[in-house]
Structure 1
């Protein structure tokens, strides 16, 4: 197995699949690493890398023997300075070297060699105004009919690897709040070619790639708060979980292993289905669109609205993060062989539990592995499918969003509870009054009686957190608090079920709030101090982490100009394909007679030749103008460089 690790400001590690039973493996895998700056830089963009930084960068490739051992065995490494790769691609054999020991290297033996193809691409980002035309053309892609005639879709068509196009495209659309409508448009196109509901969003189309990349970008913290504690437990205190009879070792007890695996699966599953409140709003918006598009495409299938969402959030998000926690920065390093196997089994289980309706008898019989079929017989309980359904409803719901054009607030919940008078410093029964509470999509209010004017109103946008309150605060059960910038509002529900329902409703309706707190005080401030942490200042920051401690709309630092430059480079590199596609459109739209040979355009999607032709003309014209700007910049840079420098060397005369 090969692990690649760029040596710059962060530990970005990726590894190949294991090649078994061979001493001459061929991996044929491609990895992408992005050169970024650390957060300690104070310049405008994290993507700007100084010349002196590049001189220090290197790519390290490690070769390991996986074997059947608990720990992988290190075989050798290769270090390639990025400065030798600049503006070129290197395909060569590299001799493996021993790992360095301090300042001295170990004795060099014949450790073998590795053939690599390494390419370093450097973008020259021009001032923002140069990208206006291309940026505007890309951002209006979701409004183009059909979507296949848009600049963003054409970009994915001409790039040999869709990943090249998807990464900068998703970032650019995210930066300008245009991703959701674009994903909806390409997903609708994807669904036109989907004939069976049970295969929905299972391929690697532009739609699925865009959603995958979006989840990786905006869902990092969501994964961290949801999975990291349980993944840490699995990796740091591993229990044997192997249930495949063929892979069991001597002395292993399959029943105990199955119990251990069931314990881990239950815990991971429970954390996931309880995490909907932490799901970023952008992910919820995308899931909402996918859900309704799927229901529209397959109106007679009541389950497809759920499978459309679960195919992403369970199969392509949580299950992938479980099996590769180091890739999602949930763990600092890849797990050992035994733990990796445990995570693989957990991931398989989560995929199955998350697949809507997967726990039926007909589905159990379709398992490839008999041992997994036996394992899942213990999961045939309605509570699992109901938990998944509720979770999918929550993450693809728009309950907390008010429909555009609606003048009246949407009523969500109301009921009678007890409120403690705000600002009182002593404990006493007289401080608690029975009030009528009402929650709408705009505000949270309480009244003396039902149908009376509100005594106090908290706008939804002002709510910072909604959390349980320790019973010890007022010696009362079923209490929760609403933090809104002034004095905390302490409320006692009539029972624990009612308290949970109110907390959940308030959390859901406030998850879009930008200023939500990450920490809170689980007890009250009484008699001059917080009962929980004993801090004497009432303004002291909270001492406990909030249940949903990530803002729904996490701000992501994206350099829009840098991403547009990357897209320009892709169009420029694939200019010949753009011209072929333009010729194909011209042949179809203009002549309607003999067309070009099928090989010239059969791999392209051309729904509307006239609209596609028009967009292609715009793209080619913009690319040509940007190319001219780049040439002028390079000439200016070269002429302004100091005579005798690397950019402007002295030309020696031949005598």
Structure 2
């Protein structure tokens, strides 16, 4: 069986990689082609392409030995209406976490009627992320998931709506986290590989299993160390989700002290870090699929990380249950208490709502220092003399500034008191590279020496304050001067901010999401699955609403119906909204086709390319 990977390059070309996954151990690269985007714009496109060797600068490979490939490419157009058209559907979806039971909500119903849950998960997660509603929704569907979980050791191991939502959230939000945590060590493994095969059956002639085991141990130690030290970099949203999952699991299995850890490790180790290690190209940690030997090394490391990350897994009974004897022997080299305590500390850090020392020691950890300019707090007018050069120091406990380096601090802000860290509009003081630290008193306005330094300080401050319980949701992007806020013109200094906080995570992890486009995709899914909506509606009516003849179980056994009346009510709302959106789309298409020239930007040519 073959599979293709598709990517769009910066030179406006589509690269198609062809792989053979018939080998159970390793996917085999067959070749790649590049198709210029301008070719795809033609009305008729029929051609065979010779597969090329992987682009690595080596021009000596023969290109006629790899075979050829023919593609059938389909173009689908999203017709996104103005935002006001989606108000009803958007509101119905966003209140899903408040519906009792959650299985009667619009979001859950979408996942029930879609053939593949992933089709529903992606737009739902993006929509909830955009409107800051993901955490309560994940908590609601996770609680439903836990009702059907009978044993603590199988918690969150299936592909339910809850687990898929968390998986997708981690992929979207955790890109930067993976990059800063794993990319350096993954690059080392791929660019300077050492033999790590420890399976006696797979050893090649001349291999030394003891040396290979030492190499593997070195890599596992390094990857594991980077992970358990990375809690301070974990995005706030991931921490909030893990916190909810941890407490739901402890509530479901109150007599199991380990379940609160396994609920988190089943995601962050098994479904996040371990998956990224074995498939670094999928998470943009490497440009290509690794070669066979490197891929095998990454697979062994991934297996080790999964086991090390499973709370309480390094017991004798667990070691004896390894399917592979060589893996059991390998894990005997690990010090059980040392590793389990490191995992426990890491899981505590990424699923807690309280700030913690990143290294677990009693003394504050120095994180960053440097010279910048600060504006005198409390001044109400603009003036150059208000800005003084100061030496700033950030530790895991406090943020201080001094007149000079090695002098006593003039002002100290405990980390736990910082409410937000945000950029400041240049227009406030007609100065670039400014940011503000909000801490309950007057905002502290700081000017960095350049934009890179400003981003680094914002990122560092956001990381150490991500678990503060009183984080602000809104802030003023400009200063309060001459009796009013320059951004919103409010005249009271204590007025709530007019812009939503954006610096919960590092700047390059900010997510650009078009909420209307995601709502349009959800509408399209409801439209495509209209017949299933009707079947689900009939099932609810058969159960409770109309009190009619009860249908055979097979008619609705695939649906989750906890409350037939509540589900029926939501279905009626969905169908009514979809019908109105259908009418709006028809009117819009007629108006566009009659007023816009065919082939213009407003009315582009839509065709099927084969």
Q: TM-score range by the shorter chain?
A: 0.7 to 0.9
Deviations 1:134-193 (A, max 9, x none): 100000000000000000000100110111100010000001010000000000000000
Deviations 1:481-524 (A, max 9, x none): 99999999999999999999999999876236899999999999
Offset at 1:589?
A: 1.7
Moved more, 288-297 or 397-406: 397-406
CA distance in 1 between counterparts of 2:255 and 2:141 reads 22
Deviations 1:284-326 (A, max 9, x none): 0000000000000001100000000000000000001111111
2:394 counterpart SS class:
strand
Partner residue in 2 for 1:615: 570
Residue pair 1:400, 1:508 contacting (<8 A) in 2 also: no
Scaled by the length of structure 2, the TM-score of the pair is: 0.72
Moved more, 131-140 or 519-528: 519-528
Gaps of 5+ in 2: 4-8
Q: Which of the pair has more CA radius of gyration?
A: 1
Residue pair 1:480, 1:490 contacting (<8 A) in 2 also: yes
CA distance in 2 between counterparts of 1:474 and 1:494 reads 15
CA distance in 2 between counterparts of 1:413 and 1:286 reads 28
CA distance in 1 between counterparts of 2:609 and 2:139 reads 65
Partner residue in 1 for 2:296: 341
Moved more, 423-432 or 498-507: 423-432
Scaled by the length of structure 1, the TM-score of the pair is: 0.68
CA distance in 1 between counterparts of 2:587 and 2:487 reads 65
- Evaluate the alpha carbon distance shift between residue 399 and residue 95 of structure 1 in structure 2; reply closer, same or farther with a 3 A threshold: same
Task: Point out which structure has higher relative CO (alpha carbons under 8 A, 6+ apart).
Answer: 2
- Evaluate the alpha carbon distance shift between residue 453 and residue 269 of structure 1 in structure 2; reply closer, same or farther with a 3 A threshold: closer
Residue pair 1:241, 1:261 contacting (<8 A) in 2 also: yes
Offset at 1:653?
A: 26
CA distance in 2 between counterparts of 1:409 and 1:488 reads 24
- Evaluate the alpha carbon distance shift between residue 204 and residue 264 of structure 1 in structure 2; reply closer, same or farther with a 3 A threshold: same
Offset at 1:649?
A: 12
Partner residue in 1 for 2:131: 176
- Evaluate the alpha carbon distance shift between residue 574 and residue 304 of structure 1 in structure 2; reply closer, same or farther with a 3 A threshold: same
- Evaluate the alpha carbon distance shift between residue 570 and residue 392 of structure 1 in structure 2; reply closer, same or farther with a 3 A threshold: same
Partner residue in 1 for 2:231: 276
Give the total of aligned pairs.
603
CA distance in 1 between counterparts of 2:568 and 2:480 reads 68
CA distance in 2 between counterparts of 1:369 and 1:114 reads 39
Offset at 1:380?
A: 3.5
- Evaluate the alpha carbon distance shift between residue 206 and residue 500 of structure 1 in structure 2; reply closer, same or farther with a 3 A threshold: closer
CA distance in 1 between counterparts of 2:602 and 2:556 reads 42
> CA RMSD for the aligned pairs?
11.5
Gaps of 5+ in 1: 1-7, 9-53
Moved more, 560-569 or 548-557: 548-557
Deviations 1:356-395 (A, max 9, x none): 0111000001111110000000114301000000000000
Residue pair 1:360, 1:380 contacting (<8 A) in 2 also: no
Residue pair 1:242, 1:254 contacting (<8 A) in 2 also: yes
Moved more, 446-455 or 530-539: 530-539
CA distance in 2 between counterparts of 1:112 and 1:481 reads 59
1:64 counterpart SS class:
strand
CA distance in 2 between counterparts of 1:471 and 1:445 reads 24
- Evaluate the alpha carbon distance shift between residue 94 and residue 421 of structure 1 in structure 2; reply closer, same or farther with a 3 A threshold: closer
Residue pair 1:222, 1:550 contacting (<8 A) in 2 also: no
Moved more, 81-90 or 122-131: 81-90
CA distance in 2 between counterparts of 1:337 and 1:438 reads 47
- Evaluate the alpha carbon distance shift between residue 411 and residue 195 of structure 1 in structure 2; reply closer, same or farther with a 3 A threshold: farther
Deviations 1:434-465 (A, max 9, x none): 99999999987999999999995526488699
Offset at 1:556?
A: 1.3
Offset at 1:235?
A: 1.1
Residue pair 2:39, 2:45 contacting (<8 A) in 1 also: no
Offset at 1:627?
A: 1.0
